[in-house]
Structure 1
């Protein structure tokens, strides 16, 4: 099986197109199961954020996997394959692993170095686990990717290479309405992006924060974390009239903030501009508000067109980006080496199992010929024979694991099976053994090597 990535992001597609493809809730689960049930797919995980929709799959056929996933994305978005295909990218095997590590480290984000993608990827993994579409292969890869992302943020200054989308949006807000400290802010939604927005506002000195959400209890919980207050979505028209800054992060597919609401708010509010930041896909705020005097709307599409965030860290933080790229290169090599070594492990264990069977058979035959041997001598002879066989096998089995990490390393496992006449089905049967057992075998093997 091999890793395949099929997706599109802010780098390959306009925001308007991403808005049509982005998936959440029941639609996300439906897409996830659709991919996992495809003929050539064994495991699947879907990452869907405001900047990307990517399908990660463990496949046995490259072309079959690409076709199945592309067709599902086309069907979900209602876009013809010819139109969608121009914006899709495909990564396979080694390049797929490198792409994933780039994503979790924030190098592929609209704002270089942003850390929110780690939480989003973790949520995607959790969903795949809960839905039973992520097996051992994707679980292991995903956990490694999360560790790489955490290492990048811990060991380098990549966090400073670019602010979050919220931070970039607030910088734009201050250019329009002046300092936001002491202003009144309205956050529409109570999900993870809304929580990030509220926290960023609080750190920026905004002390009057209102959280409006369809589920009022969630709005109350989020408001309590920033010392703000909660409101119902039905209260939006009144809250808009009081706000200086609005951040909307619902993405439910309908307009949470309409032009009519904003128009009415501008007629009743005190003189001064209103800044609206739409961080949702699909968009929450009616783009028609741009025609209303005194209103400024910034959304993901306008940020993309202006190139905001794309190169935020490429200039002054080139060293951090270079350091992260170095980490990714190291981790890709380590992961691929581990994967190649793991593929030969069942063959090594099958060989040791066959050797153990031979030893037991020969010991049994010897003991039947020497019935007068006492228990102590029987044990000594048995242990001696076992040590001889183990020492003879130690070097070739350790060596084949090392060679397996090189390109074409799987041929060494085939050679081992041929040389020792192993049952072709034996490695497959062994692959079901618990990892703890295999690890114990490895430690035992290494210990014997130290004794020589």
Structure 2
């Protein structure tokens, strides 16, 4: 089994297409189960955000799995496969691991180094766990990617090197409105991105913050965290008329802010939703400025220029990713040979027991003390003979061609190919005896 990634992101597809492919709720759940039903897929997880849609799967056949995942993405998004294929990327085995670790570290984000992706990957992991589409391989890989992402943000300046989408939006807002301190800000939505938006506004010195959400209680709770006030969703048009700066990210499937809600005057709207919250037609209104994910993409805000030590931070994170990928792959290759080593020791133990049984039959007069001494001697001899090759094969297995050593071991000792696979499904195995323990 190997890990496969099939996806598209802001780097390979326009926002309009990402908007069509992005899935959430029941649609995302259906995609997970549909992909897993394919006979070449064992495990599956999907990351679907405002600037990426990726399916991670453990598969046993590369080409068949790529076809299966691509077709499911097309079916569930409604985007024809021939149109979708032009924007898809595929990563497999080592490259899939490197990609996920880079994603978790913020190296592949629209805004370099943004920390939102860690929460998004964590949510994807939780959903797959709840739906039963995740197994030990992807679970360990994704958990490790979260640890790598946290390490990257802790040990480097990648957080400072790339501002969040909200921070970039506020910078653009100040170009239009001037200093935003003293301005009235309206936050539409009460999810994680809206909470980040409200907190960023507060840190920027905005004291007049209004939160509007379909579920009023959530709007109240968010407003209280930033010393603002909550308004009813039905009052959205009135609040828009009084706001200078609007940030919207509701997760709704339809437009929330329509053109007829917005008055022609100086107002800045930041639409961070996918699909769009704000009707693009508002751009035609005098004085109205609308910035959304598509315009941010067109402006190339993810360019890796050297301002603010960005190049140094990127280099540091890439070094961490490379180190962690090497460690993960080394451990994973070593784990692959473990079932073969256990199967070998198990076979040796069976041979010892058979020979001891034959000895007992031939020398029934052998007293218990002598029989115990002979038993221990034979077992020590076998253990010593097997120790060096089993230790060595585990060391060699950490190399890129490590699987070949396990293969050679199975061939040399005529191990049943089914035995290592059976042993591999056991949660815990005593490496000395080859017996299952702890279950």
Cα distance in 2 for residues equivalent to 1:374 and 1:218: 80
Q: Within 5 A, what are the aligned runs for 1:178-257? A: 178-257=178-257
Cα distance in 1 for residues equivalent to 2:306 and 2:75: 37
1:292 aligns with 2:288: no
Deviation at 1:79, TM superposition (A): 2.2
Equivalence for 1:386: 379
Is 1:417–1:423's contact at 8 Å kept on the other side of the alignment?
yes
Secondary structure, counterpart of 2:202 in structure 1: helix
Deviation at 1:237, TM superposition (A): 1.0
Equivalence for 1:395: 388
Secondary structure, counterpart of 1:410 in structure 2: helix
Cα distance in 2 for residues equivalent to 1:179 and 1:377: 92
Moved more, 222-231 or 80-89: 222-231
Deviation at 1:424, TM superposition (A): 1.9
Deviation at 1:385, TM superposition (A): 2.6
Cα distance in 2 for residues equivalent to 1:50 and 1:166: 13
Moved more, 390-399 or 34-43: 34-43
Deviation at 1:324, TM superposition (A): 1.0
Secondary structure, counterpart of 1:301 in structure 2: helix
Equivalence for 1:164: 164
Is 1:162–1:313's contact at 8 Å kept on the other side of the alignment?
no
Secondary structure, counterpart of 2:108 in structure 1: coil
Cα distance in 1 for residues equivalent to 2:255 and 2:17: 17
Which structure 1 residue ranges, 5 or more long, are not aligned?
267-271, 443-452
Aligned with 1:350 (options 343, 353, 373): 343
Q: C-alpha offsets along residues 398-447 of structure 1, whole Å, 9 cap, x if unaligned? A: 11111112232212112111211212211111112214x357879xxxxx
Cα distance in 1 for residues equivalent to 2:182 and 2:433: 63
Cα distance in 1 for residues equivalent to 2:58 and 2:241: 51
Equivalence for 1:279: 272
Equivalence for 1:81: 81
Aligned residues: 434
TM-score, normalized by length of structure 1? 0.91
Deviation at 1:315, TM superposition (A): 6.8
Secondary structure, counterpart of 2:286 in structure 1: coil
TM-score, normalized by length of structure 2? 0.94
Deviation at 1:368, TM superposition (A): 4.9
Secondary structure, counterpart of 2:47 in structure 1: strand
Q: C-alpha offsets along residues 281-318 of structure 1, whole Å, 9 cap, x if unaligned? A: 10000111112222211101111111123336677321
Q: Within 5 A, what are the aligned runs for 1:58-137? A: 58-137=58-137
Equivalence for 2:330: 337
Moved more, 198-207 or 14-23: 198-207
Equivalence for 1:445: none
Cα distance in 2 for residues equivalent to 1:157 and 1:356: 54
Q: C-alpha offsets along residues 243-276 of structure 1, whole Å, 9 cap, x if unaligned? A: 221110013121111111113xx5xxxxx72111
Secondary structure, counterpart of 1:86 in structure 2: helix
Cα distance in 2 for residues equivalent to 1:292 and 1:438: 72
Is 2:304–2:311's contact at 8 Å kept on the other side of the alignment?
no
Q: Within 5 A, what are the aligned runs for 1:420-435? A: 420-435=413-428
Equivalence for 1:155: 155
When residues 228 and 438 of structure 1 are mapped into structure 2, their CA distance, relative to the original with a 3 A threshold, is farther
Deviation at 1:373, TM superposition (A): 5.7
Q: C-alpha offsets along residues 83-140 of structure 1, whole Å, 9 cap, x if unaligned? A: 1111111111111111111111100001111111011001001101111111111111
Q: C-alpha offsets along residues 57-99 of structure 1, whole Å, 9 cap, x if unaligned? A: 1111111111111112222232222211111111111111111
Is 1:6–1:89's contact at 8 Å kept on the other side of the alignment?
yes
Secondary structure, counterpart of 1:44 in structure 2: strand
Is 2:342–2:431's contact at 8 Å kept on the other side of the alignment?
no
When residues 163 and 16 of structure 1 are mapped into structure 2, their CA distance, relative to the original with a 3 A threshold, is same
Which structure 2 residue ranges, 5 or more long, are not aligned?
435-439
Secondary structure, counterpart of 1:316 in structure 2: helix
Moved more, 19-28 or 212-221: 212-221
Cα distance in 2 for residues equivalent to 1:14 and 1:441: 57
Is 1:111–1:163's contact at 8 Å kept on the other side of the alignment?
yes
